[in-house]
Amino acid sequence: MKFPRLCVAPMMGWTDRHCRYFHRLLTRYTWLYTEMVTTSTLLYGDAARHLAFDQSEHPVALQLGGSKLNELADCAKRGEAAGYDEINLNCGCPSARACSAARSAQR
């Protein structure tokens, strides 16, 4: 597959696995992103549920939010092991909800 020209942006509250599955049904020619997943969610929550995706979603990127480098590195490895095609770090985005959830790089 050629590198897609179109990406569906990561959107908390929207781009969960069901939404991404639907987007993939619409087209093969887009890169999909998860909602932002915080490092705390993966390290202390139900990581299996938050990392799950359908194989049809490829290519799909995991977006991580967090501010501790060691935790981001750990979660990036978990994402790679889960089979994601890209690990995307949220270093600041226009969504106030995403920023407050991540306490991400801008703080």
Ligand X SMILES: Cc1cc2nc3c(=O)[nH]c(=O)nc-3n(C[C@H](O)[C@H](O)[C@H](O)COP(=O)(O)O)c2cc1C
Which residues are identified as catalytic? 93
Q: Which two tokens stand for residue 53?
A: 């995706």
Shortest gap between Cβ of 31 and ligand X (angstroms)? 13
CA torsion 77-48-17-102 (nearest 10°) is -60
The contact pattern for ligand X, residues 23-62, with x = CB under 6 A and - = no contact, is ------------xx--------------------------
Q: Which two tokens stand for residue 55?
A: 């194989």
Q: Find the binder of ligand X among 61, 64, 75, 98 (CB under 6 A).
A: 98
90 binds ligand X (CB under 6 A): yes
Q: Select the span of 10-18, 21-29, 49-57, 72-80 touching ligand X (CB under 6 A).
A: 10-18
DSSP labels for 54-72? -GGG-SEEEEEE-S-HHHH
